[in-house]
């Protein structure tokens, strides 16, 4: 049975924070494809760390809805070095924005959370109702907790003010347009880059962080963009919703898959002195399918091939 659109996107002005980022650009394109009018200021044009900036922007541009994706993110290394920065910036941006949306009476708010909000030792697959059943993995807990607090803000505002806010929990994203900076990139672009560069220089070995035993689930960026727009148009409940494929792969197997796709012929060396992060990540994606009819379409092999082709072009520029 099809799910009705309770917030039709066609003709609506939608403010997308983080609209110039890795996920933001596919979301802008998907909104435009559905007939919406996306508005995507840069952080210079609207600095969400300024408590009054969001309200001023809303009064000037009159969006009818907001998709909040702006975030300060990084890999394990960056999170270990800058936990305070990641907590403050993510908490402050969302806090100021949601309050401004409430005060200015926007029709609908979508806030993007993170799989890092789940407990470190969460039963697999992760179900949304278990999000409070333990402390997140330590290396990215400040980031995850800041994001999870925004879910509480939306639910509290719904209860007190009737604010129409929804909260999504995407798993690890990947795809063309991902971060290339070694300081801030995530596991798939980091692995692809290591293998491509080792192949180009004729390297005999690639060193990888951790033991390789941890598992992760990965969602192609275009699938995520479609999910966000589907939820914005059709989902109305206060309950958080997972976005993922429902399939996990160990880091070792992922590395072997990327090694084969990039053509690197050398050896893999796992350095166990570095942390693995959360032991396992695999989401239960039932709620997204049942509540607004979405499920992922792009398989990992197809997504990796497209991502590798894009990165080859970027790294040879």
Distance CA 91, CA 87 (A): 6
Question: According to the 3-state scheme, what is the secondary structure of 100-136?
Answer: HHHHHCCCEEEEECCHHHCECCCCCCECHHHCCCCCE
Residue of 85, 88, 135, 143 marked catalytic: 143
Q: Say whether the peptide bond before residue 15 is cis (omega within 30 degrees of 0).
A: no
Residues whose CB falls within 8 Å of the CB of residue 112, separated by 6 or more in sequence, listed in order:
23, 67, 68, 69, 71, 168, 170, 228
Active site residue 174: no
Measured distance between the N- and C-terminal CA atoms of the chain, rounded to whole angstroms: 48
Q: How far apart are CA 181 and CA 152, in angstroms?
A: 32
Taking the C-alpha atoms of residue 112 and residue 229, their distance in angstroms, rounded to an integer, is 12
How far is Cα 19 from Cα 110, in angstroms, rounded to an integer? 14
Listed in order, strand segments (DSSP E) in 255-309 are 267-271
Residues 234 and 272: beta-carbon distance below 8 Å:
no
> Which residues lie closer than 8 Å to 86 by C-beta, 6 or more apart?
72, 73, 74, 78, 79, 140, 142, 143, 146
Give the whole-angstrom CA distance, residue 106 versus residue 101: 5
Q: Which of these, 222, 229, 157, lies nearest to 5 by C-alpha position?
A: 229
- What is the per-residue burial (b if ≥16 Cβ within 10 Å, else e) of 263-295? ebeeebebeeeebbbbebbbbbbebbeebbebe
Which residues belong to the active site?
A: 143
């Amino acid at each position: 049975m099809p799910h009705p659109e309770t917030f039709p996107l066609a003709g609506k002005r939608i403010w997308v924070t983080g609209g110039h980022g890795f996920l933001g650009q596919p979301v802008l394109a998907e909104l435009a494809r559905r007939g919406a009018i996306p508005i995507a200021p840069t952080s210079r044009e609207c600095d969400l760390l300024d408590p009054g900036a969001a309200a001023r922007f809303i009064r000037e541009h009159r969006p009818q809805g907001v998709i909040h994706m702006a975030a300060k993110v990084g890999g394990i290394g960056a999170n270990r070095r800058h936990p305070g920065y990641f907590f403050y910036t993510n908490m402050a941006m969302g806090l100021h924005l949601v309050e401004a949306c409430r005060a200015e009476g926007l029709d609908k708010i979508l806030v993007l959370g993170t799989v890092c909000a789940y407990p470190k030792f969460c039963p697999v697959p992760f179900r949304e109702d278990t999000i409070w059943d333990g402390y997140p993995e330590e290396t990215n807990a400040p980031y995850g907790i800041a994001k999870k607090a925004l879910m509480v803000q939306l639910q509290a505002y719904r209860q007190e003010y009737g604010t129409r806010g929804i909260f999504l929990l995407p798993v690890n994203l990947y795809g063309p347009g991902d971060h290339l900076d070694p300081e801030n990139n995530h596991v798939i672009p980091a692995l692809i880059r290591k293998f491509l560069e080792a192949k180009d220089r004729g390297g005999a070995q690639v060193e990888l962080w951790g033991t390789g035993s941890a598992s992760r689930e990965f969602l192609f960026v275009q699938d995520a963009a479609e999910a966000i727009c589907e939820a914005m148009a059709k989902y109305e409940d206060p309950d958080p919703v997972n976005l993922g494929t429902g399939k996990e792969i160990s880091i070792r197997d992922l590395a072997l898959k990327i090694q084969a796709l990039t053509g690197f012929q050398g050896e893999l060396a796992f350095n166990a002195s570095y942390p693995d992060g959360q032991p396992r990540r695999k989401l239960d994606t039932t709620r997204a399918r049942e509540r607004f009819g979405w499920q992922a379409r792009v398989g990992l092999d197809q997504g990796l091939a497209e991502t590798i082709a894009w990165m080859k072009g970027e790294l040879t520029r």
